Amino acid sequence: MEKELQIRFNEHKRHNIPFGILFIDIDNFKKVNDTYGHNVGDEVLRFVAQTFVANSRPFDLYGRWGGEEFIAIIRNIEPKELANLGERLRILIEHSYILHGNEKLHVTVSLGATSLQPNDSLESLLKRADSLLYESKNQGRNRLTLA
């Protein structure tokens, strides 16, 4: 993912192709692991990742950033469209579930969304997305914050 970010950054500098990133975190994931075990936690991770891939364009890229965090690198997109995509993914995940025995397990995600700005470095872009993600979490989770 870091290599892909660098490629998109260089592509933007050379050809002015816009891109944005989504930082995505599964809300209260530790509770899922603690309540149902790590095997179910792994199922939740796969379910969330499959939701991203099934509802995105073929050239958008999603990857695990660590633990229950994901990053999405979305090419050729303006900020409003990035927010729309993030909201669509958030709502799809909120209204979907996996089955564990007879129980429907629901999870939600919090997102930080931002586009590359003229004076950004990769570090500043990632830092802003991370801050926006934590703003979403601090404001109650299951939401997207865009800047």
Q: Is the dihedral of CA 84, 90, 91, 92 positive or negative?
A: positive
Pairwise CA distance, residues 37 & 31, whole Å: 9
* 13-42: pLDDT as tens digits: 999 999 999 999 999 999 999 999 999 999
In a domain, 28, yes or no: yes
- Residue 146 belongs to a domain: no
Contact 113, 21 (CB under 8 A): yes
Which domain, by its residues, includes 121?
A: 2-136
User: Would residue 18 count as lying in a domain?
Assistant: yes
Residue 78 lies in a domain: yes
CATH of the domain at 100: 3.30.70.270
DSSP the chain: -HHHHHHHHHHHHHH---EEEEEEEETTHHHHHHHH-HHHHHHHHHHHHHHHHHTS-TT-EEEEEETTEEEEEEES--HHHHHHHHHHHHHHHHT--EEETTEEE---EEEEEEE--TT--HHHHHHHHHHHHHHHHHTTSS-EEE-
Give catalytic residues, as residue numbers: 68
The confidence score (pLDDT) of residue 119 equals: 93
Residue-wise pLDDT tens digits, 53-79? 999 999 999 999 988 999 999 999 999
- If one counts the domains in the chain, the total is 1
Query: Amino acid letter at 106?
Result: H
The pTM assigned to this predicted structure is 0.94
Task: Name the amino acid, one letter, at 120.
Answer: D
Residue 80 in domain: yes
